[in-house]
Amino acid sequence: MKEAYRGNIRENLALALDTLRTHKFRSFLTMLGVLIGVATVILVASVFVGMETQMADMAKQFGTQNLYIYKWQPGLNFRLTREMRLRKPLTYEQAMAIKEQCPSVKDVAVEMVNWRGTPPIMKYKGTQMLDGTLTGATPNDFAISNASLAEGRFFTDIDNWHRRYVAVLGSDVVQRLFPNQDPVGKMIDIDGHNFLVVGTLGKRKEFFIDTGNNRVVYIPYNTYRDIYPAMKDNFIMAQAYPGRRDQAADEVTGLLRRLRGDKPWQPDSFGIGTADSFIQQFNAIIGTMVIAMITVASVGLLVGGIGVMNIMLVSVTERTREIGVRKAIGARRSDITWQFLLEAITLTGIGGIVGIILGWVISFVVPLLFPSLVPSVPLWAVAAGFIVSVGVGIFFGLWPAMKAARLDPIVALRYE
């Protein structure tokens, strides 16, 4: 019994493949929608997994035990309310209070950056850079943010106390202003102020777009305040002891609410971000994009499925006499149903396989456009793409197959 069943399956599959070979162009056009839909699913999944991995690597790079504290929630903030914009800046004294009064906090660094102002003009001899970022930072900023030293040294507490004009350059700044030469020991002009370059940083991992992490010049915090006395915005990084990050966040929240005069019924007048919260924000945004892309892919699959149904109905009409002959010599309804159903499944299944290959190939092209992004095709996406393509064949091929199976053999034999 099983051998006969397998034989019928093989025979019906052979008939389906023979029909596809006979109508190659028509079959290609029919599977095109399924092909595009599956390729889109594979591409979106591979890019999403690559971005997710990259985001996790960046979070580890900057420190998983760190708290990032600002006057509004750090991270991917696209909507700032008027109340957020009018909040008082965090102060250096508040940062030091966190360091002294929060038992779970190991160390605290403070940065000052003019995010909303005109970028500083950085010059070395005849070369200048207009898109760099100047950051005033306490010396322990490098240790807390896991910065790696490429050449020279970091500036020290003594440099900061004496407000010395020394600078540590990001890797992109070195490439732009000092190509093929060692910048350590040379003078760089920043907004009309001369700084001695004491060190350079190793290249940090970037996201799939340039986030400017390597276009930064760091100078001592006190030196920055001397040059830009009107600047008040402080960004605080607090490093928690291992395993105590959440406890540190609670301690910092309670202390800052008290120091900043937040009433019990008022929301926090500051924001605290962590590596996990950045990843969650990223996943929420990318998840919305993925849903949009999957919707587009679903439309492609739907169009492909309707095309499969139409072509199968045409095929049933064209082969009505053949169906009559098969029934006359003993073919059962199930044989006819399986013949046409397997034809539809084969059509969409091949489209799915080609779509998987196409999506996989395109994923290798993505790094050419975004060098820092390395897509990875997950096995679940491959399996889902193939299962969905086969499912489309079953769903949209069932009605034509049942219609063929219900044909009256006598009427079918008379069909011209």
The per-residue pLDDT for 135 is 92
pLDDT tens-digit map of 20-62: 666 666 667 777 778 888 888 888 888 887 777 777 776 666 6
Look at 386 and 204; give whichever has higher pLDDT.
386
**Quick one: average pLDDT of 375-383?**
81
Instruction: Examine the pLDDT at 199 and tell me if it is beyond 80.
Output: yes
Instruction: Examine the pLDDT at 139 and tell me if it is beyond 90.
Output: yes
Task: Please state whether the predicted TM-score (pTM) of the whole model is above 0.85.
Answer: no
Look at 385 and 188; give whichever has higher pLDDT.
188
The per-residue pLDDT for 106 is 92
Task: Give the CA count within 13 Å in the CB-facing half-sphere of 50.
Answer: 22
> In the structure, what pLDDT confidence band is assigned to residue 289 with cuts at 50, 70 and 90?
confident
CB contact burial 101-121 (16+ within 10 A = b; e otherwise):
ebebbbbbbbbbbbeeeeebe
Residue by residue, DSSP assigns 330-353 as: T--HHHHHHHHHHHHHHHHHHHHH
**What tokens does 180 get?**
């093929």
pLDDT tens-digit map of 209-262: 555 678 899 999 999 999 998 888 899 999 999 889 889 999 999 999 999 888
The per-residue pLDDT for 410 is 61
Look at 67 and 280; give whichever has higher pLDDT.
67
Per mean pLDDT, which range of 91-95, 263-267, 410-414 is the poorest?
410-414
- Percent above pLDDT 90 for the chain: 25
The per-residue pLDDT for 2 is 44
For tokens 């929060």, name the residue.
Answer: 102
C-alpha 357/C-alpha 36 separation (Å) is 11
C-alpha 19/C-alpha 340 separation (Å) is 10
The per-residue pLDDT for 7 is 47
**What tokens does 288 get?**
């919305």
Every domain of the chain and the residues it spans: 2-58+280-414, 65-274
pLDDT tens-digit map of 158-170: 999 999 999 999 9
Instruction: Name the range with the highest mean pLDDT among 167-176, 278-287, 309-318, 392-401.
Output: 167-176
Number of neighbouring beta carbons within 10 Å of residue 324: 20
The per-residue pLDDT for 82 is 76
